[in-house]
Amino acid sequence: MIRIAEILKQGKPGDELTVAGWVRTKRELKDFSFLEVNDGSCLSNLQVILEPTLPEYGTLLKRLNTGASLQVNGILSESPSKGQNIELRADRLTVFGDADPLDYPLQKKRHSFEFLRTIAHLRPRTNTIGAVMRVKNAAANSIHRFFQERGFLWIQSPIITASDCEGAGEMFKVTSLDLERLSGKVDYDLDFFGQKAYLTVSGQLEAEVMAMAFSNVYTFGPTFRAENSNTSRHLAEFWMVEPEMAFCDLQGDQDLAESFLKEVFKSVIENCPEDMEFFDQRIDQSVLSTADNIINKEFARITYTEAVELLLKSPKTFEYSVEWGIDLQSEHERYLAEELFKRPVIVTNYPKNIKAFYMRLNDDDQTVAAMDILVPKIGEIIGGSQREERLDVLEQRMLSCDIPSSQLWWYLDLRRYGTVPHAGFGLGFERLVQLMTGMSNIRDVIAFARTPGNAEF
Ligand code: 4AD
Ligand code: MG
């Protein structure tokens, strides 16, 4: 079946075709009626003209309410009315399914995003969520293309794992034990995997394994965090892109991340012009200028120590006070990217005490070769680092972080046999889509959001 996007792009008056979709609106006039039909292939609707000569005109018209599904056969013709160039004059029309106007929730009016979250099974049919999903698809496609063109191998890291990569203890447990029968101490030897198992928070450790054989690899898949943060930027289930490069240092890591963001934005602007225009007009008027900014301006690069100095000098009062050693809060990150630099900022060399065990210790013994990319509106969008490739330093660091080396013996083996300098980063895919679309809540850039207290649909 031909899709509406293709018809609106290439259809010529006189073409005879069959289209299927859902009614967005109906307007009944004295001599004929209009339908706006959408099939999800693009933001625009196809205008369909129904004339009283159409078989069963009256009956069909009563059924063709917002949300009803149909198939229509007809001839394209030039549209005399403004708003579109072509329209379809119906010769035959079938209704597949009705949508009772008295109870179909998506009537033609503005609905709040909060309300739409309660009907996540129907909201993909709205303009906004439709545009989000098409942009997300284009972004995913360009992410794969970016890495494939550079010879990176796509790897599938496990979803079930025994290791807490980030060491933050925010893992969902995976078990086949009957929780209702358990009381007191649990014997994990008897559990499915014979040990404690979790949903992964990151595919990085496995990506490092693969990078030690294939040099450049990336993961692109789901990750899970049981952190109880009810913010507009946190999900319990989200997708992450994690490239890992052997023979690469922090500088190379930053360079890759910057060109990666630039290219993905460029590609989405090229491939989804109508949807991106929609976001700029309807959601956030800085969407296109933000994209332009990311594509065309060099990112700012500062160290954590410089970031702290800039924050201390700022006339702004922050809710969380600033001193060297603190973890930057979202308000600090946003101030740097949004107000001070007005473009993405890469912050490097954070204090070791606030970062994960695997980051490479700098010569000052206080900071690690970390890098976070901060962007306007969101704050941190990418977190990465050069990895500790020296066995003795890594062992020392794990000891001070209370990570038993028995658990990560295989990770340590990578440093025992043919270790190399290497680096990588993780991009939160939904945060990227938030930045691209200007959508203020992360729950509205994922089809089925999982957040504390929420796993319906
Ligand atoms: O900074 P994070 O925790 O880094 C890692 O997981 C590293 N292992 C990545 C690596 O070096 N390979 O997470 C990376 C990114 C964050 O910058 C953020 O964009 C996103 O993942 N992220 C979340 N997105 C949505 N909901 C959450 N709860 C998120 N937590 C992190
Ligand atoms: Mg981080």
Tens digits of pLDDT across the chain (457 residues): 899 999 999 999 999 999 999 999 999 999 999 999 999 999 999 999 999 999 999 999 999 999 999 999 999 999 887 777 899 999 999 999 999 999 999 987 889 999 999 999 999 999 999 999 999 999 999 999 999 999 999 999 999 999 988 888 899 999 999 988 878 888 899 999 999 999 999 999 999 999 999 999 999 999 999 998 889 999 999 999 999 999 999 999 999 999 999 999 999 999 999 999 999 999 999 999 999 999 999 999 999 999 999 999 999 999 999 999 999 999 999 999 999 999 999 999 999 999 999 999 999 999 999 999 999 999 999 999 999 999 999 999 999 999 999 999 999 999 999 999 999 999 999 999 999 999 999 999 999 999 999 999 9
CB 437, CB 378: distance < 8 Å: no
- Residue 37 and residue 54 in contact, taking contact as beta carbons nearer than 8 Å: no
Residue nearest ligand 1's atom 17 by CA: 382
* DSSP label at residue 373: E
Residue 204 structure tokens: 């990085």
Q: Would you say 361 and 393 are in contact if contact means Cβ atoms under 8 Å apart?
A: yes
Ligand nearest to the CA of 387: 1
Rounded Cα distance, 47 and 35, in Å: 6
166 lines ligand 1 (CB under 6 A): yes
Determine whether the shortest distance from the Cβ of 381 to ligand 1 is under 6 A.
Answer: yes
Ligand 1 within 6 A of CB of 164: no
pTM of the model as a whole: 0.97
| Residue closest by Cα to atom 31 of ligand 1 | 428
CB distance 203 to ligand 1 below 6 Å = no
Neighbouring residues of the ion ligand 2, judged by CB less than 5 Å: 383
Count the neighbouring beta carbons within 10 Å of the beta carbon of residue 132. 26
User: Do 34 and 89 touch, CB atoms closer than 8 A?
Assistant: no
CA of 396 to the centre of ligand 1 (A): 25
